């Protein structure tokens, strides 16, 4: 466990990477939820090692709220949630019954699967949904359609539409930002959009 992820709070949120860390720090600030330490594990495949290191740290027994957030990606939420439950179980921790549900205890534990505890997708999908009604999104959609129409099969196989749309949208903002997290810091996402309500409820319940 690197020094940057040493336990410094009794309220702890683990996320996939640096960009998610910056996003959630901005979103928690918007919700006026204080004293939450956000830890990025360095990618979804590193959750098992990160949790093993976290639970071995001095101070882990003092944590009272523990949240885990990861993307569903191409799957429904069930598979990544089951993966998180497996990690919790292997570290001697109880498992919540379903995504978004907070299991009370010492610590309270909850897991949120992006974008909405159900659909395939990721943080980028949720952010895009907050601004999708803006007029300029017709231009973004047209650009993506045009680009995909001439894309080689090898490119199409690895093309991530949500990430591409995110980059295009952020390139139109002032000041320009190149990541979801830094876009959140500059208020480029609509934190009041209804699509964020499940995530808000999760965080407000986990960190009262």
* Ordered domains of the chain (ranges, CATH): 3-120+193-206 (3.40.50), 123-185 (no CATH)
- Flag residues of the chain having pLDDT under 50: 1-2
pLDDT of residue 50: 92
CB 77 within 8 A of CB 99: yes
pLDDT of residue 4: 61
pLDDT digits (tens, 9 = 90+) for 128-154: 999 999 988 889 989 888 888 888 888
pLDDT of residue 1: 45
Q: Within a 13 Å sphere around the CA of 132, how many CA atoms are in the beta-carbon half? A: 13
Beta bridge mates, 109: 66, 103
Phi, psi for 4 (deg, rounded to 5): -65, -20
> How many CB atoms neighbour CB 144 within 10 A?
15
pLDDT of residue 37: 97
Question: Scanning the structure block, which residue is given the tokens 């610590």?
Answer: 107
CB 176 within 8 A of CB 186: no
């Amino acid at each position: 466990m690197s020094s940057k992820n040493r336990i410094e709070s009794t309220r702890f949120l683990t996320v996939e990477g640096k960009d998610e860390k910056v996003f959630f720090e901005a979103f928690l600030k918007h919700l006026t939820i204080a004293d939450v330490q956000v830890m990025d594990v360095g990618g979804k495949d590193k959750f098992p090692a990160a949790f093993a290191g976290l639970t071995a740290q001095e101070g882990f027994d003092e944590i009272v709220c523990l949240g885990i957030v990861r993307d569903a990606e191409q799957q429904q939420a069930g598979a990544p949630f089951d993966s998180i439950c497996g990690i919790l179980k292997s570290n001697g921790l109880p498992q919540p019954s379903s995504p978004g549900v907070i299991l009370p205890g010492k610590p309270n534990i909850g897991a949120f699967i992006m974008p909405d505890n159900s659909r395939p997708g990721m943080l980028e999908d949720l952010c895009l949904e907050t601004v999708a009604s803006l007029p300029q999104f017709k231009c973004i959609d047209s650009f993506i359609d045009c680009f995909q129409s001439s894309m080689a099969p090898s490119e199409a196989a690895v093309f991530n539409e949500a990430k591409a749309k995110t980059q295009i949208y952020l390139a139109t903002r002032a000041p320009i930002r190149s990541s979801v997290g830094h876009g959140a810091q500059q208020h480029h996402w609509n934190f009041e959009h209804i699509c964020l309500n499940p995530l808000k409820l999760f965080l407000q319940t986990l960190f009262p």
